[in-house]
Chain A
Amino acid sequence: MRNQQATQLLFELSRPGRRAVQLPPCDVPTRPIEEWIPAEALAASPPPLPELTEPDIVRHFVNLSTLNMSVDTHFYPLGSCTMKYNPKRNERLASQSGFADVHPYQPETTLQGLLAILHSVQEMLAEIAGLEAVSLQPAAGAQGEMTALLVAAAYFRDRGEHRRTVLIPDAAHGTNPASAAMAGWSTIQVRSTAQGLVDLEDLSRKLSSETAVFMMTNPNTLGLFDGQIAEIARRVHAYGGLVYLDGANMNAILGIARPGDFGADMMHFNPHKTFSGPHGGGGPGAGPIAVTAALAPYLPVPIVVRTDRGGYRLDYDRPKSIGRVRSFFGNTGVLVRTYCYLRTLGPDGARRVAENAVLNANYLLSRLKTFLDIPHGDRCMHEFVASASALKASQGITAMDIAKRLLDFGFHAPTVYFPLIVKEALMIEPTETESKATLDAMAEALERICREPADLLHQAPHSTAISRPDEVRAARTPILKFS
Chain B
Amino acid sequence: MKPEDLLFTKTHEWVHLTTNPTGETIATVGISAFALEALTDLVFIELPPVGRRVEAGGAFGEIESVKAVSDLYSPVNGEVVEVNTAVADRLDRIAEDPYGANWLVKIKVAGDVDRSTLLSYDEYQKQCAEESH
Contacts and interface: CB of A to CB of B under 8 A. Distances in A.
A471 interface: yes
Nearest to A416: B67
A144 to B, nearest CB: 22
A448 interface: no
Contact of A423 (B68, B69, B92, B132): B132
Most central of A174, A389, A471, A475 by chain B CB within 10 Å: A475
A420 interface: yes
Contacts of B133: 389, 423
Contacts of B67: 417
A437 interface: no
Contacts of B43: 472, 475-476
B41 interface: yes
A223 B64 CA distance: 26
A417 B70 CA distance: 13
Contacts of A417: 67-68
Nearest to A420: B68
A418 B67 CA distance: 8
Nearest to A418: B68
B66 A472 contact: yes
Contacts, number: 24
Nearest to A472: B41
Contacts of A472: 41, 43, 66, 92
A379 B38 CA distance: 27
B75 to A, nearest CB: 17
Interface string A455-481: 000000000000000011001100000
Q: How large is the interface on B (under 10, 10 to 19, 20 to 34, 35 or more residues)?
A: 10 to 19
B68 A475 contact: no
A389 B37 CA distance: 13
B8 to A, nearest CB: 18
A420 B43 CA distance: 18
Contacts of A174: 69
Interface string A287-307: 000000000000000000000
Contacts of A476: 43-44, 91-92
Nearest to B70: A420
Nearest to B131: A423
Nearest to A387: B133
A136 to B, nearest CB: 31
Contacts of B91: 476
Interface string A405-433: 00000000000011010010000000000
Most central of B38, B43, B64 by chain A CB within 10 Å: B43
Contacts of B38: 423
Nearest to A476: B43
A389 B68 CA distance: 17
B4 to A, nearest CB: 25
A481 to B, nearest CB: 20
B59 to A, nearest CB: 10
B20 to A, nearest CB: 32
A418 B66 CA distance: 12
A420 B35 CA distance: 13
B74 to A, nearest CB: 15
A111 to B, nearest CB: 43
Interface in B64-90: 64, 66-69
Most central of A420, A471, A472 by chain B CB within 10 Å: A472
Nearest to A389: B133
Nearest to A417: B67
Interface string A385-414: 000010000000000000000000000000
Contacts of B41: 471-472
A423 B129 CA distance: 13
B64 to A, nearest CB: 8
Contacts of A475: 43-44, 64, 66
Contact of B66 (A389, A420, A471): A471
Contacts of A418: 68
10 contacts: A389-B133, A417-B67, A417-B68, A423-B133, A472-B41, A472-B66, A472-B92, A475-B44, A476-B44, A476-B91
Given A423-B132, A472-B43, 17 more contacts: A174-B69, A389-B132, A389-B133, A417-B67, A417-B68, A418-B68, A420-B68, A471-B41, A471-B66, A472-B41, A472-B66, A472-B92, A475-B44, A475-B66, A476-B44, A476-B91, A476-B92
